[in-house]
Amino acid sequence: MPQNDPTIQCSFCKRKIVPKSQYDVPIYDPRANFAICANCIKDIYHVLEEHQQGEAVAQTEETANAIAEEISRIKPHMVKEYLDQYIINQDRAKKILSVAIYNHYKRMQYGFQHKDESEAIEEIDKSNVIIMGPSGCGKTALLSHLATMLDIPFAVTDASSLTEAGFVGSDVEVAVRNLYYAADKDLARCEHGIIYLDEFDKIARKSGENNTITADPGHEGVQQALLKMLEGNVVEFTARGQRKHPEAPTIKVDTKNILFIVGGAFVGIEKIIAKRLKKTDSNIGFGAKIEGQEEKPKFDELIHQVTPEDLMKFGIIPEIIGRLPVICTLESLDEDALLRILTEPKNAPVKQYQKLMEMDNVELVFEDAALRAIAKKAIERKTGARSLKGIIEDTMLDIMFDIPRSDKHRKVTITEACINDQAQPLIEEL
Ligand SMILES: Nc1ncnc2c1ncn2[C@@H]1O[C@H](COP(=O)(O)OP(=O)(O)OP(=O)(O)O)[C@@H](O)[C@H]1O
Ligand SMILES: [Mg+2]
């Protein structure tokens, strides 16, 4: 390269660069005729960071010790007790998940304890879980509380954002990548983590019975790609923020020991179940009951009888269903359950608003009738516990706006009329 030539060639990617500032070609030695462009430095940095760091921390020993220590802390009854603090009802689901988590740990421990044995020992199969239940009944909440409780990496990925490679959206590898970052880039921990795929029903084949549209190659492709992950494969992905190109450095994660939990509302699956039951057992006579009135209990009765065939009809490919041996169903929440959700959990909405008001020197009181009115309203909205907070927020808006005008010690009472007739809450000076 002649000294006066303004273009410099990167010795790695051979691209010609016209330096506008010294930062365009951070390393340049004209005497050695050597240069590296900023892009190549970034790539090298990623290779070093991802591979070396990943491998250095991948100390299986450490992971094995951590598991042995934690296994005494996550016995099923302990996990359930923890979840009980936040989630009302759903006892069966809590039990199933607690057992699934405990078994996952035991399976890991077994693997570590027998890893040096020469003859091929029997492995304990993992039991991936599928959870289903109506909207707003606590699926996502259950899993996010589990995630905060456990020490092993746990990543939640929204399956509805996933697309087949080549389509606009995220590739399925994103789920594993999220786990890798949840494990602080520790490969050994990542390979024993838990992936929760939320909104899993959204990737059902549209030609399933729940839908009328026919051709739907995209979703089936996502399922096929997920299947590879569920089966236990080496998944390859680029670091966060890295462009995907053939030379981009990749991180490889073996999903063999990752526990998968998938969940969704599976809207309409109760109809598929009812149809099947009607065919096999004419005595049950669903549908013969008064329509509308018994809608809720009917849904719960049906959902607990879901079988793999129903899921297949819904549009999940049989190979995936085969990889999800544990089916966990959640029930819909009735008025009493909603009433408890308002006040009982550690993070109950009423407690949260009371804390907020306390900071303005205000005692916030909800009359019992007001709480019941909120629960009743939420039932009408048919979105489970999801609407509770919105209903309170509506009522509280004016109060939250006006209260900070003064520092006086006051008591605010929310009455039934506040909820039903938009009446103003009672304010007393104390
Ligand atoms: N059984 C429950 N106990 C306590 N809180 C609950 C319960 N069910 C739902 N909630 C609360 O209601 C809100 C919505 O619940 P969540 O997001 O878990 O619903 P979901 O079952 O995932 O619904 P969707 O299928 O629509 O995603 C959350 O704030 C959660 O804390
Ligand atoms: Mg959810």
Closest CA to 225 of 248, 255, 247, 196: 255
Top-confidence residue, 4 or 14: 14
Residue 83 has pLDDT above 80, yes or no: yes
Residue 385 has pLDDT above 90, yes or no: yes
What stretches of 12-90 show up as alpha helix (H) in DSSP? 38-47, 54-57, 60-70, 76-84
Q: Which two tokens stand for residue 255?
A: 């999903």
- C-beta of 87 in contact with ligand 1 (< 6 A): yes
Instruction: Out of 61-75, 219-233, 336-350, give the one with best mean pLDDT.
Output: 336-350
CB 33 within 8 A of CB 1: yes
Closest CA to 264 of 105, 426, 420, 140: 140
Q: Tell me the per-residue pLDDT of 129-146, one tens digit each, with 9 for 90 and over.
A: 999 999 999 999 999 899
Top-confidence residue, 35 or 212: 35
Top-confidence residue, 216 or 114: 114
Q: How far is the CA of 145 from the centre of ligand 2 (A)?
A: 13
For residue 2, what is the DSSP state?
A: -
Pairing mode of beta strands 410-414, 426-429: antiparallel
Query: Rounded distance, CA 23 to CA 118, Å?
Result: 55
Q: Whose CA is nearest to atom 26 of ligand 1?
A: 135
Q: Which two tokens stand for residue 314?
A: 């819904």
Q: Where is average pLDDT lowest: 4-8, 222-226, 340-344, 423-427?
A: 4-8
Task: Name the strands in the sheet holding 426-429, side by side, starting at the edge strand that comes first in the sequence.
Answer: 362-366, 410-414, 426-429
Q: How far is the CA of 79 from the centre of ligand 1 (A)?
A: 18
Three-class SS state of 252: strand
Top-confidence residue, 7 or 165: 7
At 365 the pLDDT is 96
Query: Rounded distance, CA 195 to CA 255, Å?
Result: 10
Atom of ligand 1 nearest to the CA of 133: 21
Closest CA to 413 of 402, 428, 403, 400: 428
Percent of the residues in the chain that have a pLDDT greater than 70, as a whole number: 83
- C-beta of 101 in contact with ligand 1 (< 6 A): no
Give me the half-sphere count of Cα atoms (radius 13 Å) on the Cβ side of residue 366.
Answer: 23
Q: Tell me the per-residue pLDDT of 243-301, one tens digit each, with 9 for 90 and over.
A: 666 667 788 999 988 999 999 999 999 999 999 988 765 544 444 444 444 445 588 88
pTM greater than the 0.85 cutoff: no
Q: How far is the CA of 6 from the centre of ligand 1 (A)?
A: 62
Residue 221 has pLDDT above 70, yes or no: yes
Percent of the residues in the chain that have a pLDDT greater than 90, as a whole number: 48
Q: Match 């389509």 to its residue by tokens.
A: 167
112 pLDDT tier (thresholds 50, 70, 90): confident
Domains of the chain, CATH where assigned? 8-48 (no CATH), 56-329 (3.40.50.300), 335-429 (1.10.8.60)
Residue 353 has pLDDT above 50, yes or no: yes
Pairing mode of beta strands 194-198, 154-158: parallel
33 pLDDT tier (thresholds 50, 70, 90): confident
Closest CA to 225 of 317, 313, 307: 317
